[in-house]
């Protein structure tokens, strides 16, 4: 999305997909050492087979590699409770110019190079609560209600009216006809913890929802989460393509920015919608375009530029999680004070004084 892996000025691209070994697995100590090319989903499955859990779950888990996850500090829905991948790394083997290898951290008791990840015991119970809302305002009130409940769900996700209608036909249940938005809350923990939290979360969601929120467990919960994951491709299918942004705003501005996405799209003659990780204010704003129309893409980019301005005005970030890369490089100077950009540049040149590693990315 941000062109991180694109050699902008030519150069050498190293593909690591065959460097995908598990170097060490120590389930009793909750840890695993892996090659950088192992996919996220593969590492998650190994953890699960051993009663453990690697929470970070970017939407790209089946394709993305742990090296890429670490390089982008990938997050995803469960970051609300568990944080992003960086918090699970205890050791790294790194190559730095001009070609030196260095090991940082590791598993305290061993001296094996590689990428060491901390795992967690797998929670024994999961549940998902879903609630529908007649307006963005009431949806945002539901999100704030969940935060005020004091419970810490694994994920707090939302779909606005347009995103909801893109996946309405595949919803595994009955959608209330007046629904103009939905919130999904994923809970995990022991059976007792989840049961207690589910009741409070349903109450918090229900104070502004259309009907009593529904809470499901087991395969029904998995089906709901899979339905939520399908939204990106379902939205893209509507016009053939979409320009997707990932701004992030302080949660109290969610309603304002979710509505602004639709207005900005309309002002530029485009259908627009959003969904995302409501708990931490991440808004995947999508402007729908026809893949053949450069002119529509230009209008979508104009709408996105106005969205970035609004985001910065309300104290948000132009990239909540897809990264700065090439697309948002020039926006950093608007979002950050000059000295912050300078510090980033200095840190980069400390590791890479000749600017050989992935030049042309992130820094304006």
Ligand X SMILES: Cc1cc2nc3c(=O)[nH]c(=O)nc-3n(C[C@H](O)[C@H](O)[C@H](O)COP(=O)(O)OP(=O)(O)OC[C@H]3O[C@@H](n4cnc5c(N)ncnc54)[C@H](O)[C@@H]3O)c2cc1C
Residues that bind ligand X (CB under 6 A): 4-5, 16, 36, 58-60, 64-65, 67-69, 71-72, 74-76, 232, 321-322, 358
Query: By C-beta, is 209 or 358 nearer to ligand X?
Result: 358
Query: By C-beta, is 74 or 182 nearer to ligand X?
Result: 74
CB of 134 to ligand X, least distance (A): 27
Give the integer Cα–Cα distance in Å for 3 and 322: 10
CB of 187 to ligand X, least distance (A): 19
CB of 287 to ligand X, least distance (A): 17
Residue nearest to ligand X (CB): 68
348 Cβ contact list (under 8 Å, min separation 6): 355, 363
Q: What is the dihedral of CA 291, 292, 297, 300, to 10 degrees?
A: -60
Strands (DSSP E) contained in 195-292 are 214-217, 241-244, 247-248, 272-277, 282-289
Q: What would the two tokens of residue 340 be? A: 């912050």
CB of 80 to ligand X, least distance (A): 11
Query: By C-beta, is 36 or 241 nearer to ligand X?
Result: 36
Going by DSSP bridges, is the β-strand pair 214-217/100-105 parallel, antiparallel, or unpaired? unpaired
Across-strand partners of 241?
Answer: 289
Task: Report CA Rg, the chain.
Answer: 21
Query: By C-beta, is 55 or 58 nearer to ligand X?
Result: 58
Across-strand partners of 127?
Answer: 187, 217
CB of 57 to ligand X, least distance (A): 8
Query: By C-beta, is 7 or 121 nearer to ligand X?
Result: 7
């Amino acid at each position: 999305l941000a062109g991180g892996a694109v050699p902008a000025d030519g150069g050498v691209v190293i593909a690591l997909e065959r460097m995908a070994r598990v170097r060490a697995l120590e389930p009793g100590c909750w840890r695993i050492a892996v090659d950088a090319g192992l996919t996220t989903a593969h590492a998650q499955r190994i953890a699960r087979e051993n009663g453990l859990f690697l929470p970070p779950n970017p939407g790209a888990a089946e394709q993305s590699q742990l090296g890429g996850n670490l390089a982008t500090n990938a997050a995803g829905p469960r970051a609300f409770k568990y944080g992003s991948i960086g918090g699970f790394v205890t050791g790294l083997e790194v190559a730095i110019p001009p070609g030196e290898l260095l090991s940082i951290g590791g598993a305290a008791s061993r001296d094996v190079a590689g990428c060491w990840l901390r795992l967690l015991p797998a929670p024994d119970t999961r549940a998902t609560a879903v609630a529908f809302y007649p307006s963005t305002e009431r949806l945002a009130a539901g999100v704030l209600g969940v935060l005020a409940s004091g419970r810490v769900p694994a994920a707090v996700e939302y779909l606005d009216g347009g995103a909801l209608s893109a996946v309405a036909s595949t919803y595994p249940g009955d959608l209330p006809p007046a629904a103009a938005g939905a919130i999904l809350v994923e809970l995990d923990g022991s059976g007792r913890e989840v049961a207690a939290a589910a009741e409070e979360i349903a109450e918090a969601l229900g104070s502004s929802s259309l009907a009593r929120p529904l809470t499901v467990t087991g395969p029904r919960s998995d089906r709901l989460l899979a339905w939520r994951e399908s939204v990106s491709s379902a939205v893209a299918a509507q016009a053939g393509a979409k320009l997707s942004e990932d701004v992030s705003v302080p949660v109290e501005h969610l309603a304002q920015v979710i509505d602004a996405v639709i207005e900005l799209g309309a002002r530029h003659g485009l259908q627009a919608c959003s969904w995302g990780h409501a708990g931490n204010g991440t808004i995947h704003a999508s402007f729908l375009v026809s893949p053949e129309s450069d002119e529509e893409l230009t209008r979508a980019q104009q709408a996105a530029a106005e969205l970035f301005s609004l985001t910065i005005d309300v104290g948000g970030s132009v990239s909540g999680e897809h990264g700065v890369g090439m697309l948002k490089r020039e926006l950093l100077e608007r979002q950050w004070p000059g000295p912050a950009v300078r510090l980033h540049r200095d840190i980069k040149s400390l590791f890479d004084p000749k600017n050989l590693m992935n030049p042309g990315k992130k820094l304006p």
